[in-house]
Structures are given as C-alpha cells and as structure tokens.
Amino acid sequence: MTDYRDLTLQGIWKNNPALVQLLGLCPLLAVTATFINGLGLGIATTMVLIGSNVTVSLVRNIVRNEIRIPVFVMIIAAFVTIVQLLMNAFTYELYLALGIFIPLIVTNCAIIGRAEAFASKNSPAASAYDGLVMGLGFTFVLVVLGGMREILGAGTLFAGADRLFGNIASNWTLTLFETDSPFLLAILPPGAFLGMGLLIAFKNMIDARIAARETTVKEKATRVRVTADA
Amino acid sequence: MKLTLSSSPHQRVKRDTGQVMRLVIYAMLPGIIAQSVFFGWGTLIQAFLAVASALVFEGIILWLRKRPIERTLTDYSAILTGLLIAISIPPTLPWWMTITGVFFAIAVAKQVYGGLGFNIFNPAMIGYVVLLISFPAAMSLWLPPQHLASLTPSFLDSAALIFTDFSTTGYDVTQLRTVADGVADGVTMATPLDTLKTDLTLGITYSESLLRPIFSTGLFQSAGAGWGWVSLSYLLGGLWLVRLKVISWHIPGSMLASVAVFSLLLYMIDADHYASPLFHLINGAVMVGAFFIATDPVSASTTQKGRIIYGAAIGFWVVIIRVFGGYPDAIAFAVIIMNMVVPLIDYYTRPRTYGHQVTKKARRSE
C-alpha cells in the first residue's frame, strides 16, 4: 500500500525536485523570466513526468536492468515530442517563447530521476501520482521564481497570459509599477541564480523553524515523564 | 641602568581594522576632492548617500543576524565600501540605483557570506557590477568635466538630478551632457574610454581620436580632461598608503606593470587600433583599482608571491576586457574574476615553513 499523503509531502516540499534535489536547474533558471513562461514550462514538465512515470512503471518488469536507462530516455523523449507538438498546436506563442527549452525537457534530470528512483519500482497508479506531485512541486518553484523576477525586472505580473490561456486572458496583466530603467539583473541569468538561492534559503529557514519547534515540544514531553517517574 | 619589565605579548598589533579602514578613507580624499572639482557636487552627494545607506543596511543585517552592531559599524568597513561605490558611479545616478548597489554590496556580497573577513568577493565591486549590468544606460551617463560643459550643475541642481532625475531648471542628464564641439552645434560627451571605443568602431584611428576635446584639453595628450588629474590624485593617495605600509606594493605594482606591459604589446602590434600604455593607465579606474580596490585585504591573495600573480592577472584582464570586451572599463570584472581564483593562488604560493621542505637547489648542493 502506498502512502499518498507521504508522496504528496515529498513531492511538494520535503523532496522538491527544484529546491531540494536541485534537478532540472537549466530550464528552471533559463525560462523563469516571467510568471507565465514558468507556468507553461511547469505544466509541460508535469505532463511529461506523469506520462513517462506511468509508462516506465508499466514496462518495469519487461525491460532488462542493463538497458533500462536508454529505454527510459526514449520513453521520456516520446512524451516530450507529444507535449511539444501539443504546444505547437494550441499555445504557439508560448511554444516560441520557451523555444529550445521544451525539447530540452528530455534532459531534465528530475524526470529521469523519478523514472529511475520511483516509477521503476512502483505500481502505475502510485507512479502517476508521484509524477503529478513532483511536477507540481517543480511548477510551484518555477512560478514563484518567475513571478519574483517578473515583478522586480519588469514591474508586471501575468504578462503574456494569453499565450497560455487564450484570448480571455489578454487583459490579465497586472502592472505594479512603471519604470524607464528596469532592473535588468532580475531578468538576466544572474537574477535567476540569486532568486533560486534566496528561495532555497527561505525553505531551509522554514524547515529550521519547524525543527526547532518540534525539538522544544519533545524536550518538554521528556521532562514531564522524568518528573512523573520520580 | 634600569631594565623595564613587561609581561607578554611583547609584539602588539600596530593597527586594528578600524584604523586601517580609516587610513584608506583618508587616502581617498585627494581623489574624491579632484573628482568633485571636475565633475561637480554629485560625487559628494553620492558619497553621503552611499555611506549612510551602507551603515543602515549593515546595521539592519547585523541586527537580523544577532551580531554586535556597534562594534562592527565602527570598523569603518561599511563606510569604505559605500565610498568606493560612490566614486565609481556617475555623479548624477538616480538615488535609488545607488542604494540598490549598496544593498547588494553590503547585504548580499558581504553579510550573506558571513560578514567582514568571510566575503570572497569585493563587496563594492559586486555592488558596482550589479548596477552596471542592471542599468547599463544610466551607469554610463557621466557628465563632461565642468570646464567643457555648456551647463554646469550647481549643488542644488546636482541634488535635484539625483533625487528627481531633473535639475532645478528642468534639464535631464542627457541634456546636460551636451557640450559645444565646434564641429556640430552640440554633441553629447562620453568618458575617455567610451569615446575611444566608439571612435575605433567608427573606423577612426587612435591618434585621430585623441584630437577630440575630451583629450585635447586634458592634462596631457592621452589623458582625458579631468580624468588625468583624478587618476593622479588617487595615485598620490595610494602611494601614501604604501608608504604607511597599510597596503603592500605587490598588488598595485604588479597590476600597473601588467596593464602597461599588455597594452604596450598591443600598441606595438598596431598603434592605430590599440591605445598606448599611458592612455590605459591614466584613464578609467586603473589607479583607484590598483591601490584601493584590488588591495582589499579580505578578497585579495594573502601571500607575497600570490599578490604579485593576483595583481598581474587583474592587469591582464583589464586590458583584455577593455580592448576586446563590450564594456569600456573592466576593473570591477577583472577584480571579481580574480577574487574567484584567490584560493587557488594562495594554495600554490604557500610560503615555506622555516626548517621544512628542503628545496631542490639546496639538496643538490649538499
């Protein structure tokens, strides 16, 4: 029996592919100049992750151990091609904006990592769920980083939402402030590295707070028992 | 005869961090004064702004990190960082850009790494590079030296430019940069390094470029107007620091020598397209860089041999980036590149401990 609660927690927080495993950093840092680009790549990666996880899990008992990695890569490549064609058909402008980073999802270590570490050892249903939460965890970081960089760099949020959601979203862009000299650093790659570092630091800070609270609770509990024994 | 007895330690530290930093600040004064004389009140206003915000950011972060605030603030390192940023940026840079640069210098480059003594990169240069990358247009808007400008901003004008983007009479920085050229009615004037770089891309040779007013009214032929005096003032302050043994001669000496050697090599290959060594030494930030920036005791190499390698490599990068790179000046980039290599340099230049490791030569003579 798979513990779905634990899987969720692992994917979104404890073992987040971007913040903890630090996998798939190349697309993460390259495309997160805006919120919508981050969301688009996040959704694409999640779709590939679910598809590849289910397929790998289905063939896990057929594929010989020695050749499993090439097989996994081919499965992932097939799903990336599917997603790429879908985006080309339905979200053409986003497809152009993300450019080379859609085909590069094949090389995203987060995906082959999950195929190897989880899907090749678990049932299709559990693997699908793992792909979903891992993808959501990855998307979450992409979106937060993209939002941060877009606000700092351009003063807007949700710019280009119509690329992903169609014409309804054409007026979703929020302009927080107007500037003649945008903070280019946030949009350039160094800004992605700095933003990523700050996000990781922020996550570690929250974890440290939680850990500190848990230890104080435990200490109190032991003291109570000691007094009771005496 | 009376012998005085004293208990150990017999050798005391001559100067503490605060004293060293103060001496460096005093040594910068001639340069800062020269800069204000030639480029207006802006430099002084920026210095005040940068130092004040450096102290505020340092204080806030020390408080967040639960470190002693007063002791660290009085070591003058934050003040020095603020001053170095203030002299590197254009005097009319908008106030919020200055503060952004200082924030990155103090909060990110210094305190995130653990505070003074733990920063691998020179904080002031990180702040400067952040500004240069983020606001390339604003960071290259230097006003012409005052005697060439058709409009010289007063103190109030400078303050108004920094805080509101417009002088009290309603001019912005681009309009104030316009000077009478003789050829056209008015042309905007760039820094000496900018001027040469643009001219070379236009197919104008180095010697023809030197005929422009920014060079022809300078201290001597290849020194930019105003810039030559500013560089010499920093050189003076720097030599005073070497004399006081606040900094050793190794880094500035090897850096200046290496700038001269590499630019001379290029100049000898093609004097039309590469500037003379003197041009490279006197224009831009080479003098400030050699004596005040590269010598930062925390982020520079610590061994004697290492310092020579470190300084020479900075000089090499300065010439390479200036001549072949996209940016006109290169001190900040060169220093940051070499900051990264310092652990490696220090590793390979560790001095021999007395009595250890007999050298090959000594062994052969046995």
Provide the whole-model pTM: 0.83
Please list the alpha-helical segments (H only) found in chain A.
4-9, 25-31, 35-58, 68-90, 92-98, 109-117, 124-154, 162-165, 184-187, 189-229
Gap between the Cα atoms of B239 and B243, Å rounded: 6
Please state the separation of Cα B113 from the chain's center in Å. Answer: 22
B108 at interface of A, judged by CB pairs closer than 8 A? yes
Q: What is the pLDDT of residues B338-352, one digit of tens each?
A: 999 999 999 998 887
Tell me which of B134, B166, B172 to substitute to probe the interface with A (most A C-beta atoms closer than 10 Å).
B134
Q: Nearest CA of chain B to the CA of A151: how many Å?
A: 14
Place of tokens 């970081």: A141
Q: What is the pLDDT of residues B288-333, one digit of tens each?
A: 999 999 999 889 998 989 999 999 999 999 999 998 888 888 899 9
Are B219 and B232 spatial neighbours (Cβ–Cβ below 8 Å)?
A: yes
Q: What is the mean pLDDT of residues B64-77?
A: 86
Contact A184 B136 (CB under 8 A): yes
B108 contacts in chain A (CB < 8 Å)? 194
Pick from B94, B87, B82: nearest CA to B159: B94
Q: Which of B25-34, B215-224, B236-245 has the lowest mean pLDDT?
A: B215-224
Gap between the Cα atoms of A19 and A138, Å rounded: 8
A86 at interface of B, judged by CB pairs closer than 8 A? no
Q: Nearest CA of chain B to the CA of A211: how many Å?
A: 19
Angle separating helix axes B77-88 and B123-134, nearest 10 degrees: 30
B136 at interface of A, judged by CB pairs closer than 8 A? yes
Contact A194 B133 (CB under 8 A): no
Residue A228 above 60 pLDDT? no
Q: What is the mean pLDDT of residues A90-107?
A: 86
Band the pLDDT of A113: cuts 50, 70, 90.
confident
Gap between the Cα atoms of B292 and B251, Å rounded: 10
Band the pLDDT of B187: cuts 50, 70, 90.
low
Band the pLDDT of B185: cuts 50, 70, 90.
very low
Contact B97 A181 (CB under 8 A): yes
Contact B133 A188 (CB under 8 A): yes
Q: What is the mean pLDDT of residues A176-186?
A: 78
Q: What is the ipTM of this complex?
A: 0.75
Q: What is the pLDDT of residues A185-210, one digit of tens each?
A: 888 888 888 889 889 989 999 989 98
B183 at interface of A, judged by CB pairs closer than 8 A? no
B100 at interface of A, judged by CB pairs closer than 8 A? yes
